[in-house]
Chains A and B, each alone.
Chain A
Amino acid sequence: MFELFAEMWSFAFMRRAFVATTVLSASVAPVGAFLVLRRLSLAGEAMAHAITPGVVIGFVTAGLSVASLLIGGLIAGVGVAILTAFLARKTILRSDASLASLYLIALAVGIFILSAAGSAVPLKSFLFGSILGIDDASLILVGAVATITLVTFAVLLRPLIVSTCDPVFFEAQTRRPWLIEQAFMLLLVLNLIAAFKTLGTLMAVGLMILPATSARYWSSTITGQLGLGFLIALASCWIGLTLSYLLPETPSGPAIVLTAGGFFIISAVFGPLGFGGRLRRQGRQNTTPIPQTPQKERHQ
């Protein structure tokens, strides 16, 4: 067993993959936690699709480089986020319906350009990423995004908590409540771009949402939610990468997300805030002896 791990670790591409996913876990865990808490889990998935046309246009015009990925993805993602907020504020549509409309248009544009560019575009790497082919530039991108994310969270954690828990109270407390929302959406887009190269457009949100939802079943505090979310994301990456090494036909991105899915199922079943806690509470109620009234008193 040890030899197997030593062999896996001897490959430079595996070492890069472990480093990239470790840093990525630290970055996406807090973003995922607040996506779940802000009830934006599905919006994260939609945003992952919304950056597709930017990335595809970047690829078609400048090749599959980190710069083209970053610029194209940022323009598409931030554009959709701003348009969504604009439609939600100025028209009758709520933000979920606005985002759904815009991401579908963006996704269709992306697929249209992808098809028009023909076989030159590696479709599979767009959908599932290429974590085992990470280059230096991609590692730097992941590191830079993680740094920006963690520093931003250190500064904005309290306003983020207040605005998520009680948005009306937060709106009454600050002159520019939308700044926090937009800063968070920018972090989301940056992290999606960082995860895009490693996990692909279909799997990118998986590493954000599944560890966060799993952690929610165990933790009643925001600190616990953030810390445990990171540990589950990290464990999912390491176990998923190892599985994909041991089973050569297994793509690494889906292996990581499937592992995170395993953690989610375990958490839902055994977590104190999942079915496990419910069953334990019921068990305690059933075994609590019902106080018996002494026979003498009953006849009095």
Chain B
Amino acid sequence: MAPVAEIRNIALGHPGLTLFRGLSMDIERGATLAVLGANGAGKSTFIKMLLGLVEPVSGRLTWPDGPPRDIGYLAQMTEFDRRFPLRVRDLAAMGAWKGFGLRGRLDRATRDRVDAALEAAGVLNIADQSLHTLSGGQLQRALFARVIMQDADLILLDEPFAAVDQNTEAHLLSIIDHWRTEGRAVVLVVHDLSSVLDHCSHALLLGAETASFGAVDAVLTPERLVAQNYLSASQAAWMFRPAEPDAAHV
């Protein structure tokens, strides 16, 4: 099966500044790709390139099956207006707004889809609450429901776990796992080396003007993390230290 996207020898940057160059990779269906890098390494710029909001400095991005009808997208929460007068179900429905036409009310099938998305995200019980009354975790679940409504083959999530508790993170990760079983490709900007990586099949490490792509274990080695300025040598030594024998068995 053809990949969702093919990236060939791409360089990304701004005028006078190259973030990274020489990236070639495929985004496969059913893959979950973690994007890591220090601040300013180009993680969000990479996401924006996939969205078509940023042009690469060189190289090319192609869509073997044609440009996608829709790309599921969850931006960082800081860019969202939480005081906007909408209910949770309206926010979820927003994921499919392009297909609604001009009529005021949604049809029965769409309303059922919205309910199913809210149920899957665990916010059906607060579907009629206003956005400004939600906690950070509840809002992130509602935004996941919107991504579900987008029903896209490619899903981009920019730091989705930055402000949520452990329970919410576990629930949202189960949704990401489900997307993988459905054959959707998920690209996920990850803030740190956490258990989130256990749910990812591939990793893209950005930093030091280079980009490393491959299986998670192959990319996130201490040497590479230090070389690409993601960790200092002492941090890497501590994080990747040999496991100590369990004190109970000593």
Interface presence of A239 (CB below 8 A): no
CA distance A277 to B188 in the complex (A): 40
CB distance from A278 to the nearest CB of B (A): 13
**What residues on B are CB-neighbors of A154 within 8 Å?**
102
Identify which of residues 166-188 in chain A touch chain B, using a CB-to-CB cut-off of 8 Å: 166-169, 171-173, 175
A168 CA / B53 CA spacing, docked (Å): 10
Which residues of chain A are within 8 angstroms of B100 by Cβ–Cβ distance? 158
In the complex, which residues 129-164 of chain A have their Cβ closer than 8 Å to any Cβ of chain B?
154-155, 158-159, 161-162, 164
**What is the CA–CA distance of A154 and B51 in the complex, to the nearest angstrom?**
28
Complex contacts, A162 vs chain B, CB 8 Å:
94, 97
Decide: B79 and A225 in contact? CB cutoff 8 A. no
Q: Contact between B53 and A166 (Cβ–Cβ < 8 Å)? A: no
Complexed CA–CA distance, A169 and B80 (Å): 9
Within 8 A of A (CB), among B78-127: 79-81, 84-87, 90-91, 94, 97-98, 100, 102
Give B69 Cβ to nearest chain A Cβ, in Å. 11
Alpha-carbon separation in the docked complex, A164 to B94 (Å):
12
| B147, closest chain A residue (CB) | A169
Contact of A222 (CB < 8 Å), options: B51, B52, B71, B86:
B86
Residues 165 to 199 of chain B near chain A (Cβ within 8 Å): none
Residues of B within 8 A of A39 (CB): 81
Contact B53 A172 (CB under 8 A): yes
- Bound complex: CA A37 to CA B85 (Å): 9
Find the A residue at minimum CB distance from B72.
A172
List, in ascending order, chain A residues with CB within 8 A of B130's CB: 220
Nearest Cβ on chain A to B128's Cβ, whole angstroms: 9
Say whether A166 contacts B85, CB under 8 Å.
no
| With A166-B75, A220-B130, A224-B85 as contacts: A172 and B94 at CB distance below 8 Å | no
Q: How far is the CA of A37 from the CA of B98 in the complex (A)?
A: 21
Smallest CB–CB gap between A156 and chain B, Å? Answer: 10
Does the CB pair B85–A221 fall under 8 Å?
Answer: yes
Whole-angstrom CA separation of A167 from B73 in the bound complex: 12
Q: State the Cβ distance, B133 to closest chain A Cβ, in Å.
A: 9
Q: Which residues of A contact B53 (CB under 8 A)?
A: 171-172
Query: Within residues 43 to 73 of chain A, which ones have a CB less than 8 A from any CB in chain B?
Result: none
The reply to whether the CB of A216 lies closer than 8 angstroms to some CB of chain B is: yes
Distance in angstroms between the alpha carbons of A173 and B149 in the assembled complex: 14
Interface size on A, residues (CB 8 A): 25
Max chain A C-beta neighbours (<10 A), residue from B75, B85, B86, B87:
B85
Interface residues of A in 210-245 (CB under 8 A from B): 216, 219-222, 224-225
Please determine whether A220 and B85 come into contact, CB atoms closer than 8 angstroms.
Answer: yes
Tell whether A165 is near chain B: CB-to-CB under 8 Å: yes
Contact A166 B79 (CB under 8 A): yes
Which residues on B sit within 8 Å (CB–CB) of A173?
70, 73, 97-98
Contact B81 A164 (CB under 8 A): yes
B75 touches A168 (CB 8 A): yes
Contact with B84, one of A164, A171, A172 (Cβ below 8 angstroms): A164
B168 to chain A, nearest CB (A): 20
Cβ contact within 8 Å between A221 and B87: yes
Closest CB in chain A relative to B210 CB, distance in Å: 27
User: In the complex where A155-B102, A158-B100, A173-B98 touch, is A166 in contact with B81 (Cβ < 8 A)?
Assistant: yes
Nearest-CB distance from A183 to chain B (Å)? 16
Are the CB atoms of A216 and B85 closer together than 8 Å? yes
Q: Which residues of B contact A172 (CB under 8 A)?
A: 51-53, 71, 73, 75
Most B Cβ at <10 Å: residue of A154, A161, A219:
A161
- For residue A33, which residue of chain B has the nearest CB? B85
A165 touches B73 (CB 8 A): no
Report whether A221 and B98 are in contact in the complex, using a CB–CB cutoff of 8 Å.
no
Contact A37 B97 (CB under 8 A): no
Contact A165:B94 (CB < 8 A) given known A171-B53, A220-B87: yes
Pair A168/B79 contact, Cβ less than 8 Å: yes
**Beta-carbon nearest neighbor of A226 in chain B:** B85
Q: Which residues of chain B are near A161, meaning CB under 8 Å?
A: 86, 94
* Minimum distance in angstroms from B54 CB to a CB of chain A: 11
A-B contact pairs, 14 of them (CB 8 A): A159-B97, A162-B94, A165-B81, A165-B86, A166-B94, A167-B79, A168-B75, A168-B79, A169-B75, A169-B94, A172-B53, A172-B75, A173-B70, A221-B86
Give 8 new A-B contacts, CB below 8 A, not counting A159-B97, A173-B70, A221-B86. A37-B81, A39-B81, A161-B86, A168-B80, A172-B51, A173-B73, A220-B130, A224-B85
**3 tightest Cβ-Cβ pairs between the two chains A and B:** A165-B84, A220-B130, A168-B75
